[in-house]
Amino acid sequence: MIQEVKIALIQKDPDAPVLRSKALRFNAGMTKIYSLICPDFLIYDSRVAAALGLLVVHYCKAKGLTQVPSALCFPWACAKENENVSAPKRRNPSTGTLQFTRLRSGSHHARWNMRANWVLSQVIAHQAAAQSPFQQIDAPANALRGLEQALFMIGYDLGHAGQVSNG
């Protein structure tokens, strides 16, 4: 099944039967495996999801949008941590009317991983990103990996809901 999923991901086919299968195992752990075996395929875990959501919130606010566009409604997931932690990490980027859904394992996760990959690949390839420090990384695929790593750090903890700014 891993090989079939790999082929569907490389072919960028979100409607491949294997990606719609009830038996599909696709979660934060598996996204890391697929990022290793598929060229230019990034990890979509709770940190990346949180960071993408935060960027979408900033975009919506800049554009005066009161709802998150469905194509940009990157689902979020909770951080894996002890239930009794005194300061839980916030990974839900939702604020006010700008709401995001929860990430579900399986085909839902695979679909949104592919969408995140498409969007971020286009960001890296865009003319405006030509002078980005990400482009200074040795190989073209590494620019995407560098962006992914930055998103890991941004999404580690979004802080308190009131801390999301307009800029």
Model confidence over 50-98: pLDDT tens digits?
A: 999 999 999 999 999 999 999 999 999 999 888 888 888 999 999 999 9
Q: Is residue 35 part of a domain?
A: yes
Split into its structural domains, the chain has a count of: 1
Asked whether residue 8 is assigned to any structural domain, the reply reads yes
Cβ–Cβ contacts within 10 Å for residue 70, how many?
A: 6
Residue 70 lies in a domain: no
Residue 11 belongs to some domain of the structure: yes
Residue 89 in domain: no
Q: Calculate mean pLDDT across residues 144-160.
A: 91
Domain assignment present for 166? no
Q: What integer pLDDT is reported at residue 166 of this predicted model? A: 40
Backbone angles phi, psi at 118, to 5 degrees: -60, -50
Q: Which domain holds residue 43?
A: 2-49+102-159
The pTM assigned to this predicted structure is 0.88
Q: pLDDT tens for residues 23-58?
A: 999 999 999 999 999 988 999 999 999 999 999 999
pLDDT per position as a tens digit, 119-139: 999 998 888 887 887 777 766
**Residue 57 forms part of a structural domain:** no
Q: What is the mean pLDDT of residues 12-27?
A: 95
pLDDT at 146 over 70: yes
Residue 92 CB partners (closer than 8 Å, separation 6+): 50, 53, 76, 78, 100, 158
